[in-house]
Structure 1
C-alpha cells in the first residue's frame, strides 16, 4: 500500500511540474502580446471583428532603401494624379495597412497581387503615381483630384487603354480589348501628334487593322505627364508606399 501511495505522489508531482511549466510559458506569451499591443483587455462594448489583414511581403522582401524611380508600365494598370503630396493619395485609397517600400520592391509587391495592393510613388514634379488596384477604386481616385490619368497595358489579353479626367469628369477615354473598342471624347492634341487617329473606333473596328500596343500606352503617358520608362527625366533616388486594400 505504501508503494502505491508513493507512486501516486510521484505521478501527481510530474503532472504538477508540467502544468506549472505550461502555465509559465502561457503567461510569458501573454505578457509579450500585451507589450507588443497584440492583446486587448476585454470590455463590455461590442467589438467588431476587423477584416483579415492583407499579406504584405516580409521586411526581407521589401526594402525602404531609396532607389529608382524604376521603369514600369508593362502588364499593369496605373494612374497619374495631379498632386504634390503622396499622403493625399494614400488617404483617398483608405488602405487597411501601408508599408514603406522603394520602387523595386514596392512594384514587385504590387505585381504579385495587383487587385489587392497599390504602390504610391513619391511626388514627381507635381504628379503622384498609383500603380495597381481594381478599376472601381481607380475611378474613385480620378474624382478626387483636379487632373487624373489612367492607363492599362496587358499584352496577354490584348487590352490597352488610357483615360484623361479633369475635376472628376472623364474628357477622353480609349480602350481596345481584342478588337473591341471603346472611345469617348475627342482625341487630345497629344494623341493626334502621336498618330493615334490610325487606331480603330467603334464605327470601323471590324475593318481597321492597326491596333494599339503597350508602347503606345507608354507614349501617351509620357506625352500627358509622366513617362513610366523614366528615360528622359532624371529623378533623385526615393521610396514610396505599398498600400494593402
Structure 2
C-alpha cells in the first residue's frame, strides 16, 4: 500500500510540472521575478566598457535600433539604471553621444566570442551600416583575454580583429589595419609567420588588451570609459530592455 501511495505522489508531481510548463506558469513567475527595473530621471553620463561588449551606430534612432535587435520589455532609462541593466541581464541603448549611439549589454546576442557568433555579428553590423552608414563592434573581457573590434560601412565589413588570449589565438582577422592600428604590429595567429614557433617569441608584436580596445574605440567613434568627460552628449533618456 505504501508503495502505491509513493507512486501516486511521484505521478502527481510529474503531472503538475508538465501542466505548469504547458500553461506557462513557471515562465510567467520567472518573468515577474526578473522584471526590468529602471529609472527615467535624467542624469549625467556614466563611464563603462570593461568586461563589456557594445555596438556603436552613427544614428540617434533608438527605437529603430531596438526594433532591429528585437529588444523586448523596453523602457526609457537613464544612464545609471541603463548601464546597471547592461551589466546584469539586459541591454541598454544610450543617449546620443556626438554622432553616435551605443548598444551595450553582455547579453547582446552574438557577441562575437567564437566563430559561430562572429558570423552572425557580421551580418548584424552589415545590416546596421547599410541603413545608417556605419556600425562598429567592440568587446573585451580580461578574464579570458577576449578583445575584439569590427567596422562595417555601407553594408560591407571593412575590418575585423578578434583575439582570445586564453588560447593565444585569433578568432578572426579580416581587412587592412585602419589608421588607428597603423603603428601596431598586431599578433596574428593566422599569418604565415605564425607557422614558425619563433613567431611567438617576437618582442615587436602587440597583443590586444582592454586598454587597446578602448583606444581603438575612441579613434573610430566613442571610448565609453571617458563619457563623463565629454560635453557633446544629449540630455535625454536611453532605452533599456531584454
Does TM, normalized by the shorter one, top 0.5?
A: yes
Unaligned runs of 5+ in 1: 1-47
Cα RMSD after superposing both structures: 2.4
Counterpart pick for 2:36 among 36, 57, 61: 57
TM-score (norm 1): 0.69
- What is the SS of the residue equivalent to 2:64? helix
Quote the residue 2:109 is aligned against.
134
Q: Which is greater in Rg?
A: 1
CA contact (8 A) 2:53 2:138 kept: yes
Cα distance between partner residues in 2 of 1:218 and 1:86: 23
Deviates more, 1:64-73 or 1:224-233: 224-233
The equivalent of 2:93 in structure 1 is: 120
In structure 1, how many angstroms separate the alpha carbons of the residues matched to 2:66 and 2:77?
14
Contact 1:84 1:125 in 2 (8 A): no
Cα 1:186–1:231 change in 2 (3 A) is farther
Tell me the CA shift for residue 140 of structure 1.
Answer: 4.6
**Contact 2:146 2:164 (C-alpha < 8 Å) held by counterparts:** yes
Aligned 1:1-245 pairs, distance under 5 A: 53=31, 55-58=34-37, 62-113=38-89, 117-132=90-105, 133-135=108-110, 138-142=121-125, 143-145=127-129, 146-178=133-165, 179-181=168-170, 182-192=172-182, 195=183, 197-201=184-188, 202-203=190-191, 204-205=193-194, 207=200, 208=202, 210-228=206-224, 229-230=226-227, 232-234=229-231, 235-244=233-242
Displacement over 6 Å in runs of 4+: none
Structure-1 separation of matches of 2:35 and 2:181 = 38
User: TM-score by structure 2 length?
Assistant: 0.70
CA drift of 1:232 comes to: 4.9
Matched residues in 2 for 1:65 and 1:100: separation? 9
Count the aligned residue pairs: 188
What are structure 2's unaligned runs of at least 5 residues? 1-22, 111-116
